[in-house]
């Protein structure tokens, strides 16, 4: 069987992303939602509110898929639809109070997991790592934007 694997930093980055994705699956399951529903909640929570079209673009999904996701999250009491003030054909998706409480718990769980996973890393090592991740992220985003132009 032929295999293709990365080495060095790309391998470490992919392994971190896969571990974070596995953790997201676990967190979602613990809260009775799917991983894509959790990802949607994260995006809406970070933005404050999003239209279904914005969320669909953000997640590279169809607006039909977002309708299904948002309907389930509304039924779960985590999300509600708010009328768009300037366009009666549009609406915003926003967290309910229960959604805000859930996101606060999820953020606390995530922070605890990262804290436990990084025991023994010094403040200086964290500072270097954070700066490196920011620079790599900026370079990747710049490359993507250049490709879209």
Q: pTM for the complete prediction?
A: 0.83
pLDDT value, residue 90: 83
Per the prediction, the chain carries an average pLDDT of 93
For 61-80, what is the mean pLDDT?
A: 95
For 63-88, what is the mean pLDDT?
A: 92
Please say whether the beta carbons of 66 and 52 come within 8 A: yes
Burial of 48 (0-12, 13-18, 19+ CB in 10 A): exposed
The CA-based diameter of the chain, rounded to the nearest angstrom, is 58
Please say whether the beta carbons of 124 and 117 come within 8 A: no
Tell me the domains of the chain and their CATH numbers: 10-108 (1.10.10.10)
């Amino acid at each position: 069987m032929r295999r293709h694997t990365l080495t060095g930093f790309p391998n470490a980055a992919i392994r971190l992303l896969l571990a974070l994705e596995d953790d997201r699956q676990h967190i979602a399951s613990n809260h009775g939602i799917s991983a894509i529903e959790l990802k949607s909640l994260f995006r809406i929570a970070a933005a404050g509110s999003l239209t279904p079209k914005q969320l669909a673009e953000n997640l590279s999904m169809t607006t039909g898929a977002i309708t299904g996701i948002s309907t389930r999250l509304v039924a779960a009491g985590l999300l509600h639809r708010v009328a768009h003030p300037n366009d009666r054909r549009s609406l915003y998706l926003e967290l309910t109070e229960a959604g805000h409480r859930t996101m606060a718990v999820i953020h606390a769980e995530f922070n605890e997991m990262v804290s436990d996973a990084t025991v023994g890393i010094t403040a200086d090592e964290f500072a270097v790592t954070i700066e490196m991740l920011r620079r790599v992220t900026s370079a990747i985003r710049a490359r993507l934007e250049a490709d879209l132009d």
